[in-house]
Amino acid sequence: MPVRPTAALSALLTTALSVTALAACGSGSGHGPDTVKVSYKQSTDNSVKVADTYLAGVKEQFEREHPGKKVEFVPIKAPDAEYYTKLQQMLRSPRTAPDLVYEDTFLINSDITSGYLKPLDAYLAKWPDWKRFIGSAKAAAKGRDGKTYGVPDGTDTRGLWFDKRVFSKAGLPPDWRPRNWADVLSAARTIKRKVPGVVPLNVYTGKPAGERATMQGFEMLLYGTGDGSLDPLYDDTTGKWVVGSRGFKDALSFVETVYREKLGPDVSDALDPNFNTTVNGELLPQGKLGIALDGSWLPQTWQPGSGHPWPDWSRHLGLAAMPTQHGQAPGKVSMSGGWTWAIPAKAANPDLAFDFVKTLQTKDNARKWYIANSGIAVREDVAADPAYTGAQPGLRFFTGLVAHTHYRPAYPAYPKVSTAIQEAMEGVTTGDLSVAEAASGYDATVEDVTGGRVVRK
Amino acid sequence: MRRGHPAVRALPLVPALVLLLLFLAGPIAYCVWIAFTDLQLTGQAHSSFTGLANFRRAFQDDAFLNAVWLTLVFTVLSSLIGQNTLGLALAALMKRASKPVRTLTGGVVITAWVLPEVVAGFLLYAFFRREGTLNAVLDWLHLPRQNWLFTLPILAVSFANVWRGTAFSMLVYSAALDEIPAEITEAAEVDGAGGWRRLWHITLPMIRRSIGTNLMLNTLQTLSVFGLIWVMTRGGPGDRSQTLPLFMYEQAFQNSMIGYGTAVALLLLLVGSLFSVVYLRLLRTEV
């Protein structure tokens, strides 16, 4: 009897699919007790191999010092937002969970709440180097249960970058040190008056800029209001989000002033999702931006081999700390994020994973890493090391800000609160909303997305 | 050949059926289930069944209603009017054009279609942005320039979708027009029917079936456009070009509310099927 085509086809499909399915089950699941699987974020830019090169070196050292043990990398090649998603999916199942993962402090608390991560306190207590880590960085990887879930491998800080070429044309001092918000605005007004064709001041704003608007823009203002002793976004004692605060409206007013007086970029440029590329690649190198409220990592963009090499940037750009609103103590403000190494709750070899963390975070390796990725040291011994501070202009300045830096309340609701901030900013930037309207819109949204966990201040 | 019992004859299909159910229907059913829970990607220890809460939430959410409205505008502008009409016009014109013109036009239109969505997005972003090509042309014509992605974002992304997707309609209609017997057109011409009359009374009725299929495929494809809009405007400024797929992405992956995002996806599916039913009814072939 001739075989009918459908039968042949179905048989073929069955075989093919079951082979694939079996293969899928086979790989990925359990690996030997001598191999530690490490997931990290690989750059989406193929020419950037900073993390890969660094980790390969550490792997070699680890395998040499731990005979019989192996390190296997499971790199995830994705932009930030997608990296989180992929990682979270891997962490859900013991079959896909690696032994060590690279976690952004932005989402670590969320992943702790989900039960994806393992507390490290038992390991840290026996690790002498942990005492070297600065307090604020340690706090960034702490869960609400008081346990620590990650070892930070550096941080970032933020401040004011200003163009000395623009400043000299405007008659402003090359060693500019603004003492309060009014100083920043008045410098911008001077630039607007005296140097036409230049954007006086850039503050990232609106939803298209995303977390960049919230952190480099709004929070750099908000955390400089009040007396700095309390978190202006989140109330730790009650575990509730702050609404209706004076500081929030003041920070919004600052943004409104920048865009209403046309001290910032054209609104339509500011709301272009790719505007940061223009700032880093064109406006700053070409001397078309007076003051930029931005992060410590900018020189990464200007290194040789990147898209816009600008080796002598430090000749043209000056750095100043972002002042507090009225110059009240401590006088300056900075925000920090950064990444940590964490061990998944479903890891197969957690002990070996922590051994790998110890190798990653020897003083020498830590210093090598900070220098390679323009990171800011979170180990006191490295921060004081001239081999580190002298490695790149600006490192000393941004490391000095660590003492005045704040970490975001990165609890599960934070990403939604951040979106609400961006919407409020966007309202005052376009002029569609008054400060009062935008602030009350924020209050309502936060009340909604946090399920009513808000407190009026 | 001896005919076996129907059950025995169906036997070889069983493995395929099982696999289909497992790999196709399984995930779909799982999706439907998730839409009724408060599952989050992160930030939650346990998820629970919440019934219709996600759907109720959607209809009370201004951002969702805004996304539905923009999705309709985007679909009507770019798929129904743009791709469909332009595709038909191109196909009709090309039927009469000389071979070199036909090859050239076809080549250009199909290139736009073959380009990956993200690449097309960047090209059109460069075209519409403030320092972009369109404004350069307007300057040259002494017409006022503006930032199209800021002032008319939904129109800009709709145009982009027309630019990218017209080739498909053109191909469908070219094939359909070739099917019309030349005698019928000639007979009508002899009877004195002008161009418009021939289009209305002969061409359109004869390619009715293709119109239906094309509209349906076009619409379903347009409803799910994501990369193009993401690259050009990220749904902004504000949420003035945030169609349902972008809204869904924001909820599911940026706000990590997988349950809510999936519920929105189901609603999008519903919008798609509504469109399909309407087309099928309107264009049902009379026998």
Chain A residues within 8 A of B45 when measuring between CB atoms: 113-115
Give pLDDT tens digits for A329-380. 899 999 998 899 999 999 999 999 999 999 999 999 999 998 887 789 999 9
Give pLDDT tens digits for A276-288. 888 988 999 999 9
| Predicted pLDDT at B2 | 58
CB distance B237–A207 less than 8 Å?
yes
Tokens of A86: 């992929």
Q: What is the ipTM of this complex?
A: 0.71
Chain A residues within 8 A of B150 when measuring between CB atoms: 267-268, 271-272
Which helix (DSSP H) or strand (DSSP E) does residue A336 occupy?
strand A332-336
Chain A residues within 8 A of B239 when measuring between CB atoms: 207
| Predicted pLDDT at A21 | 41
% of chain A at pLDDT higher than 70:
92
pLDDT exceeds 70 at position A79 = yes
CB distance B130–A266 less than 8 Å?
yes
pLDDT exceeds 80 at position A401 = yes
Tokens of A3: 């075989």
pLDDT exceeds 60 at position A402 = yes
Residue B141 is classified by DSSP as T
Amino acid at A34: D
CB distance A114–B13 less than 8 Å?
no
Q: How many Å apart are CA B80 and CA B77, to the nearest integer? A: 6
For residues A242 and A235, the answer to whether their CB atoms sit within 8 Å is yes
Q: For B151, which residue in chain A has the nearest alpha carbon?
A: A268
Give pLDDT tens digits for A221-239. 999 999 878 899 999 889 8
Instruction: State the pLDDT confidence band at B286, using cuts at 50, 70 and 90.
Output: low
Q: For A143, which residue in chain B has the nearest alpha carbon?
A: B43
Q: Which residues have CB under 8 Å from A71's CB, separation 6+? A: A35, A36, A38, A59, A62, A63, A356
Mean pLDDT computed over A262-277: 89
Cis peptide bond prior to B181, omega within 30° of 0: no
Mean pLDDT computed over A163-179: 96
Residue A301 is classified by DSSP as G
Higher pLDDT, B242 or A307: B242
pTM: 0.79
Instruction: State the pLDDT confidence band at B114, using cuts at 50, 70 and 90.
Output: confident
Which 3 state secondary structure label does DSSP give A72? Answer: strand
**How many beta-carbon pairs under 8 angstroms link A with B?**
103
pLDDT exceeds 80 at position B72 = yes
Which 3 state secondary structure label does DSSP give B43? Answer: coil
% of chain B at pLDDT higher than 90:
28
A317-320 and A158-163 strand pairing: antiparallel
% of chain B at pLDDT higher than 70:
97
Interface of A with B in 111-170 (CB under 8 A): 111, 113-116
CB distance A85–B41 less than 8 Å?
yes
Give pLDDT tens digits for B115-144. 888 899 999 998 988 778 888 888 888 888
Instruction: State the pLDDT confidence band at A12, using cuts at 50, 70 and 90.
Output: very low
Tokens of A269: 């440029």
Choose, out of B38, B42, B247, the residue to mutate when testing the contact with A (most A CBs < 10 Å).
B42
Mean pLDDT computed over A170-179: 96
| Predicted pLDDT at B79 | 92
Give pLDDT tens digits for A81-90. 778 888 988 9
Mean pLDDT computed over B71-93: 92
Q: Kindly state whether B256 is in contact with chain A, defined as any CB-CB distance less than 8 angstroms.
A: yes
For residues A404 and A429, the answer to whether their CB atoms sit within 8 Å is no
User: By C-alpha distance, which of A80, A130, A124, A87 is closest to A106?
Assistant: A80
Mean pLDDT computed over B254-264: 89
Mean pLDDT of all residues belonging to chain B: 87
Mean pLDDT computed over A383-406: 89
CB distance A111–B237 less than 8 Å?
no
- Give the gap in angstroms from C-alpha A327 to the nearest C-alpha of chain B: 33
Q: How many Å apart are CA B284 and CA B287, to the nearest integer? A: 9
| Predicted pLDDT at B40 | 85
pLDDT exceeds 80 at position A261 = yes
Q: Kindly state whether B182 is in contact with chain A, defined as any CB-CB distance less than 8 angstroms.
A: no
Instruction: State the pLDDT confidence band at B3, using cuts at 50, 70 and 90.
Output: low
Q: Which residues have CB under 8 Å from B255's CB, separation 6+? A: A415, A416, A419, A449
| Predicted pLDDT at B143 | 86
For residues A111 and A91, the answer to whether their CB atoms sit within 8 Å is yes
For residues A108 and A340, the answer to whether their CB atoms sit within 8 Å is yes
Q: Kindly state whether A284 is in contact with chain B, defined as any CB-CB distance less than 8 angstroms.
A: no
Q: Which residues have CB under 8 Å from B118's CB, separation 6+? A: B227, B228, B231
Chain B residues within 8 A of A18 when measuring between CB atoms: 19
Higher pLDDT, A30 or B102: B102
Choose, out of A10, A269, A414, A418, the residue to mutate when testing the contact with B (most B CBs < 10 Å).
A10
Mean pLDDT of all residues belonging to chain A: 88
| Predicted pLDDT at A305 | 67
Q: How many Å apart are CA A420 and CA B160, to the nearest integer? A: 29
- Give the gap in angstroms from C-alpha A422 to the nearest C-alpha of chain B: 9
- Give the gap in angstroms from C-alpha B266 to the nearest C-alpha of chain A: 21
For tokens 């500081």, what's the residue?
A247
Q: Kindly state whether B44 is in contact with chain A, defined as any CB-CB distance less than 8 angstroms.
A: yes
For residues A33 and A349, the answer to whether their CB atoms sit within 8 Å is yes
Closest Cβ opposite residue B41 in set A4, A88, A208: A88
| Predicted pLDDT at A208 | 84
Tokens of A222: 């908000």
Chain B residues within 8 A of A88 when measuring between CB atoms: 41-42, 256
Instruction: State the pLDDT confidence band at B12, using cuts at 50, 70 and 90.
Output: confident
| Predicted pLDDT at A25 | 40
pLDDT exceeds 70 at position A22 = no
For residues A276 and A204, the answer to whether their CB atoms sit within 8 Å is yes
CB distance B234–A114 less than 8 Å?
no
User: By C-alpha distance, which of B68, B62, B82 is closest to B156?
Assistant: B82
| Predicted pLDDT at B285 | 57
Q: Kindly state whether B283 is in contact with chain A, defined as any CB-CB distance less than 8 angstroms.
A: no
Instruction: State the pLDDT confidence band at A416, using cuts at 50, 70 and 90.
Output: confident
Which helix (DSSP H) or strand (DSSP E) does residue B170 occupy?
helix B153-179
Least confident of A264-278, A391-405, B90-104, B186-200: B186-200
CB distance B16–A10 less than 8 Å?
yes
pLDDT exceeds 50 at position A177 = yes
Give pLDDT tens digits for B139-150. 888 888 888 888
